[in-house]
């Protein structure tokens, strides 16, 4: 088992120094590890949004079969918003050393990205689960909630992109 030692890189920040003491943790010192971790996070988030999209497509077909054409427009709008979020995730810049680096100036940014990713994944999973269990009867009462949840997801995704680009959030 390989351990990182602080003397291997004396310029490590406090967060990096602490993380290196965890047995078996190799950290994000290698740029390819940072990129792989970021890609995995984005792929998992996209997978959950795809689940929600498939469930909305199922609901749309059920509305069509039931003759409830007016509800299909809302389904299409939600599917379009999910497509936009998926495109943003798939075309997002890869997290660079500025974000994942061990400098103390970037420790807060590192934590912000991870916290935001965790919230994004939790909310995307929750949306996917709820959408998969939705019926055409429950749709009417839930669609306003889903619109709000999609808006919140979009805002968190935009915030993530801002952090990854190294910009200050507004």
pLDDT tens-place string over residues 21-76: 555 454 555 566 667 777 888 899 999 999 999 999 999 999 999 999 999 999 99
Model pTM score: 0.75
The span from the CA of 124 to the CA of 121, in Å, is 5
Hey, what are 12's tokens? 């490590």
Enclosing domain of residue 127: 8-90+100-164
What pLDDT digit, counting tens, does each position of 6-27 carry? Answer: 444 455 567 666 665 555 454 5
- Does any domain span residue 95? no
Provide the number of structural domains found in the chain: 1
What percent of the chain stands above pLDDT 90? 41
Contact 57, 79 (CB under 8 A): yes
Contact 16, 92 (CB under 8 A): no
Looking at residue 29, its pLDDT comes to 56
- Does any domain span residue 112? yes
- Does any domain span residue 3? no
- Does any domain span residue 170? no
Polymer length of the chain: 170
CB 69: neighbour CB atoms within 10 A?
9
The span from the CA of 5 to the CA of 24, in Å, is 12
CA distances from 33 to 86, 95, 134 (A): 23, 10, 38
Contact 75, 53 (CB under 8 A): no
């Amino acid at each position: 088992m390989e351990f990182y030692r602080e003397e291997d890189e004396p310029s490590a920040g406090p967060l990096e120094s602490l993380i290196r003491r965890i047995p078996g943790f190799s950290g994000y010192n290698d740029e390819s590890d940072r990129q792989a971790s970021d890609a995995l996070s984005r792929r998992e988030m996209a997978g959950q949004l795809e689940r929600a999209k498939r469930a909305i497509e199922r609901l749309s077909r059920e509305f069509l079969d039931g003759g409830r054409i007016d509800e299909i427009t809302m389904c299409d709008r939600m599917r379009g918003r999910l497509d936009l979020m998926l495109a943003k995730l798939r075309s997002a810049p890869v997290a660079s050393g500025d974000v994942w680096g061990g400098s103390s100036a970037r420790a807060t940014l590192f934590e912000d990205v991870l916290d935001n990713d965790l919230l994004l994944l939790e909310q995307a999973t929750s949306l996917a689960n709820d959408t998969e269990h939705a019926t055409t009867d429950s749709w009417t009462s839930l669609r306003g909630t889903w619109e709000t949840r999609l808006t919140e997801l979009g805002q968190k995704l935009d915030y993530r992109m801002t952090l990854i680009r190294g910009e200050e959030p507004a």
